[in-house]
């Protein structure tokens, strides 16, 4: 009788320990997942801020007479495409599409600013100068937000892949998340030519 009770106590203790570990692992995975989602929201918020600033710059430039319309149209089209991409942070392909669209918008806007250099009356307006400073600050915020997102993804992915959490992650269908990657070609140093004559 004592052996039977001892066996029952051991089984109950093992169930309680596994249940406690499972609850702790599950709660940790949920916390990590929420951290990743919160970090991604911060990335999107900063991209939205940039888009809003770009819109304001475009409106300021549109007010400038005789500005090159094709460059302006390219920015407007890139902005439209960038804001239409829906991201599922659990799907690496949608994250890559979003990143590509944001890169195209940034590239088109860079060309717009380069063309704007040829318009001295635009360069001297206070609004345009303010926008340039705000955009620089926003780009820095975006970089920080992407780094914070990758830090959150790293912490979460470590939880999902580490033993014994990986057992519970598999049971509860928690999967690793995709990192925000550098734009293609950004590993190459830009070609800078100081051949001034």
Per-residue pLDDT tens over the stretch 51-90: 888 888 877 777 665 566 777 778 888 888 888 888 888 8
157 is in which domain, residue-wise? Answer: 32-171
**Neighbour-count burial of 47, counting CB atoms closer than 10 A to its CB (0-12 exposed, 13-18 middle, 19+ buried):** buried
In order of 31, 69, 158, 166, the CA distances from 24 in angstroms are 10, 59, 15, 13
* Least confident window among 127-131, 136-140, 149-153, 163-167: 127-131
Q: Is residue 156 part of a domain?
A: yes
178: nearest Cα among 67, 46, 39: 39
Q: Is the residue at 193 inside a domain?
A: no
Asked if residue 53 is part of any domain, the answer here is yes
Helices (H), 85-189: 92-116, 120-123, 126-161, 165-171
Q: Does residue 32 have a cis peptide bond before it, meaning omega lies within 30 degrees of 0?
A: no
Q: Which of 34, 48, 168, 159 is nearest to 98 (CA)?
A: 48
User: Is the Cα torsion angle 67, 73, 74, 77 positive or negative in sign?
Assistant: positive
Q: What is the separation of C-alpha 120 from the centre of its chain, rounded to a whole number of angstroms?
A: 35
Convert the pLDDT of each residue in 117-140 to its tens digit: 777 666 666 777 788 788 888 889
Q: Is residue 84 part of a domain?
A: yes
Nearest Cα neighbor of 131 from 41, 34, 42, 63 is: 63
Asked whether residue 26 is domain-assigned, the answer is no
For residue 21, tell me if it sits in a domain: no
Q: Is 39 domain-assigned? A: yes
User: Residue 181 falls within a domain, yes or no?
Assistant: no
CATH number at residue 62: 1.20.1440.20
Identify the weakest region by mean pLDDT among 118-127, 140-149, 161-170.
118-127
Copy the structure tokens of residue 189.
């140093």
Contacts of 28 (CB under 8 A, 6+ apart): 159, 165
Residue 157 tokens read as 């992915």
Does the pLDDT at position 192 exceed 50?
Answer: no
Mean pLDDT across 17-32: 77
3-state DSSP helix/strand/coil % of the chain, to nearest 5 = 75, 0, 25
Domain count, the chain: 1
Of 16, 40, 31, 17, which is closest to residue 147 (Cα–Cα)? 40
């Amino acid at each position: 009788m004592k052996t039977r009770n001892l066996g029952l106590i051991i089984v109950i203790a093992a169930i309680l320990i596994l249940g406690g570990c499972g609850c702790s692992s599950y709660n940790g995975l949920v916390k990590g997942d929420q951290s990743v989602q919160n970090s991604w929201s911060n990335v999107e918020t900063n991209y939205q801020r940039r888009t809003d600033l770009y819109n304001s710059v475009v409106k300021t430039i549109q007010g400038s007479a005789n500005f090159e319309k094709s460059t302006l149209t390219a920015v407007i089209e890139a902005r439209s495409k960038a804001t239409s991409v829906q991201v599922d942070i659990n799907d690496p392909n949608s994250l890559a599409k979003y990143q590509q669209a944001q890169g195209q918008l940034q590239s088109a806007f860079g060309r717009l600013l380069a063309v704007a250099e040829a318009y001295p009356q635009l360069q001297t307006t206070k609004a345009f100068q303010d926008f340039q400073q705000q955009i620089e600050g926003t780009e820095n915020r975006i970089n920080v937000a992407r780094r914070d997102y990758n830090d959150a993804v790293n912490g979460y992915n470590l939880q999902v892949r580490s033993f014994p959490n990986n057992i519970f992650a598999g049971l509860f269908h928690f999967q690793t998340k995709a990192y925000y990657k550098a734009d293609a070609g950004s590993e190459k140093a830009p070609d800078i030519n100081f051949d001034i004559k």
